[in-house]
Every structure is written in C-alpha cells, then in structure tokens.
C-alpha cells in the first residue's frame, strides 16, 4: 500500500507540473484550459496497468514477495482480506471518478472563439477518421505486455522465463531501439531544433546505453533456474520505450521530466531485481545504485523548477544542465564498473 501511495503521489505531482504551464498559457491567451491530451491518458493507462499487474502478482504470491515469511500470508487473516477489499473498492471508485472527470474535461471547448473551435473540431474529426484512436492503440500494446506477463507467471518455469527474456524480449527491444535512434538520425523533421534537439540526443543515447547495461545484467545471472525477475525486466523495457518515445516524438515540455523520472525508477528496479535474485550489492557506496538515484532525483527537481519558472522557449541553459547530468552519470558508471572488477 505504501508503494501504491508513493506511485499515486508521484503521478499527481507530474500531472500537476504538466498542467500548470497549460493553465498559464490559456490565461495569457484568454482561452479555456484544454482537456488532457491523448498521450497523457495513455501514460495514465500504462501506469494503471503496471500497478494492476503488480497487485495481481503480489496477491498470487500471498503477499510474501521478496521477504519470505516476514510479512506472512495476508489471505489467512480475515482483517487483511477486509482491508484489501476496502482498498480495492476505494481504488475502483477513484478510478471511475477520474475517468469521468477526464471525459468531462475532454468534452469541454478548448477556445472561446467559435470559428477557431469549429476549424479545430473539423481537423480533429478528419484525423480521427484517418487513423485509429491513439488510446485504442495503447490498449493493444498493454494487452500484449500483460499476456506475456501472464504467460511467464502461469505456464513457464524460471529457466524458460530467463530464456524468453535473454534471447527474445531484450534482443528485440534493443533492435527496435537501434532502429529508433537511426530513424532519428536520418529523418528530416524534428519537434525541436538547436538546444532542444541536443537535449533529445543526450537523453536518447543515455537511455539506449542503459538498456544495453540491463541486458548485460540479465546475462550475468549464474543460474537461470533461479531467475525470478521477469516482471521487472519487462517493466523496465516498457518504461524505456515510453520515455524514449515521449522525448523523441513529442514536443511536450514535460518530456525531459519524464526522462529524469525514468532514471529515478531505474535504480529502484535494479534494487528490487537484485533482491529477488539474491545478489544484493556488496561493492562500495560509490559503486552502488544510490549515487545514481540521488543524482537523478536532484536533476529531476531542477527540471521541475525549470518547467515552473520558464516558458520553455529558451533551451540553452537546460541543455547545459542535461550535459552536466550525462557527464556526471558517465563518471558514476565508470566508478561502478571499476569497483566490480
């Protein structure tokens, strides 16, 4: 429950930071605040699916997770079952209310000028007729990911789950990532120029390099029959593509904040991964995951302050900040690598 609460608070803060500049721009141009964009709803759907899958996995293990019998089987306690039922009920009510609120916001006009609103509506309807709904496409991808997770949990032993991840899922993800980065290098159009494009390249290169390191970390498993972290490996790949796509293919001001958020989540995923595999960190503090986490949190906060205090037109100073971050991250990677030799 604490984990879910933390995820909810982070999602709320990110949503607040995303919507605050939109409210300021709408007030400056004498317009109404537009409803949530489709990619915002898609991110919310993905986050909800991840939480639901994690909850199902946790319940199926009787709540014992990585601590064995330390917390016991909550299903054997009537009060635990009642508490879980109440929490599920509250979550369902909150989800329904959130969906209704999002739909109501989406149905509101985006401007007080009827002519422009009519033109925008016609253009939106034409685009909707030409392509499938983005939310529907996102549901299709989420359904595939959940089906693979269910296959791992229900039908595959540990050794076959490892084989699936090491020889299919990760190589395929790396192949797609290389195609995306080559497409970025060869296409003529871009959502940003100059410093904004430089920021995109810094993040995209770093994210792909970290995906390679995750693949090598998986290959470091000594005994495939003890592999128990398929959920977190798939979660890492899904979050990677979400962060990469937002940074590379959208012009949202908060896309770099999402990139820093992914770099905060990544060390936590590694911590859980090591705990499940029984390979807790034994190196020095500078060779552990904590410096990476602290560095990402600090620059996440700096990016949030930048979003709130600026209009986003000038990207030179944020680009310098991102370059400093990538350089510091590279130094920490070198230190961590040398500490494991």
pLDDT digits (tens, 9 = 90+) for 266-325: 999 999 998 888 776 656 788 888 999 999 999 999 999 888 887 666 778 889 999 999
Q: What is the pLDDT of residue 181?
A: 94
Question: What separation in angstroms does the CA of 116 have from each of 82, 109, 122, 163, 213?
Answer: 53, 11, 10, 55, 49
**Residue 88 and residue 192: Cα distance in Å, rounded?**
43
pLDDT band, very low/low/confident/very high, at 165 (cuts 50, 70, 90): very high
Nearest to 39 by CA among 307, 205, 249: 249
Q: What is the pLDDT of residue 100?
A: 56
Percent share of the chain, pLDDT over 90: 32
pLDDT band, very low/low/confident/very high, at 252 (cuts 50, 70, 90): confident
pLDDT band, very low/low/confident/very high, at 115 (cuts 50, 70, 90): very low
The predicted model gives 139-157 an average pLDDT of 87
Q: What is the pLDDT of residue 53?
A: 63
Q: Give buried/exposed letters for 32-66 (b at 16+ CB in 10 A, else e).
A: eebbbeebbbbbbebbebbbebbbebeeeeebeee
The predicted model gives 177-201 an average pLDDT of 84
The predicted model gives 129-157 an average pLDDT of 79
pLDDT digits (tens, 9 = 90+) for 194-215: 788 899 999 999 999 999 999 9
pLDDT digits (tens, 9 = 90+) for 22-71: 555 555 555 555 555 555 656 666 666 666 666 656 655 554 444 444 44
The predicted model gives 234-244 an average pLDDT of 94
Does the pLDDT at position 143 exceed 90? no
Nearest to 207 by CA among 39, 326, 321, 328: 326
Question: What separation in angstroms does the CA of 209 have from each of 203, 212, 213?
Answer: 10, 5, 6
């Amino acid at each position: 429950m604490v984990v879910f609460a933390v995820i909810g608070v982070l999602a709320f803060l990110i949503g607040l930071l995303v919507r605050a500049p939109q409210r300021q721009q709408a007030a400056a141009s004498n317009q109404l605040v537009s409803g949530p964009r489709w990619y915002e709803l898609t991110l919310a759907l993905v986050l909800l699916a991840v939480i639901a899958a994690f909850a199902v996995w946790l319940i199926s293990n009787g709540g014992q997770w990585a601590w064995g019998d330390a917390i016991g089987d909550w299903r054997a306690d009537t009060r635990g079952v009642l508490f879980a039922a109440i929490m599920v009920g509250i979550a369902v009510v909150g989800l329904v209310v959130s969906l209704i609120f999002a739909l109501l916001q989406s149905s509101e006009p985006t401007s007080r000028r009827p002519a422009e609103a009519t033109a925008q509506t016609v253009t939106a309807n034409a685009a909707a007729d030409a392509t499938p709904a983005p939310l529907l496409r996102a549901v299709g991808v989420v359904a595939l990911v959940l089906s693979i997770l269910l296959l791992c949990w229900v039908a595959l032993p540990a050794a076959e789950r490892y084989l699936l991840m090491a020889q299919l899922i990760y190589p395929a993800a790396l192949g797609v990532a290389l195609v995306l980065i080559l497409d970025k290098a060869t296409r003529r159009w871009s959502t940003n120029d100059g410093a904004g494009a430089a920021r995109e390249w810094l993040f995209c290169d770093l994210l792909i390099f970290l995906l390679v390191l995750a693949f090598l970390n998986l290959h470091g498993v000594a005994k495939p029959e003890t592999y128990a972290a398929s959920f977190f490996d798939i979660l890492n790949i899904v979050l990677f593509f979400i962060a990469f796509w937002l940074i590379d293919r959208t012009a949202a001001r908060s896309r770099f904040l999402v990139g820093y958020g992914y770099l905060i989540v990544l060390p936590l995923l590694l911590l859980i991964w090591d705990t499940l595999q029984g390979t807790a960190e034994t190196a020095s503090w500078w060779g552990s995951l904590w410096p990476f986490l602290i560095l990402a949190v600090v620059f996440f906060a700096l990016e949030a302050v930048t979003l709130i205090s600026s209009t986003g037109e000038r990207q030179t100073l944020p680009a310098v900040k991102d370059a400093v971050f990538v350089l510091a991250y590279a130094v920490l990677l070198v230190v961590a690598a040398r500490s494991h030799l």
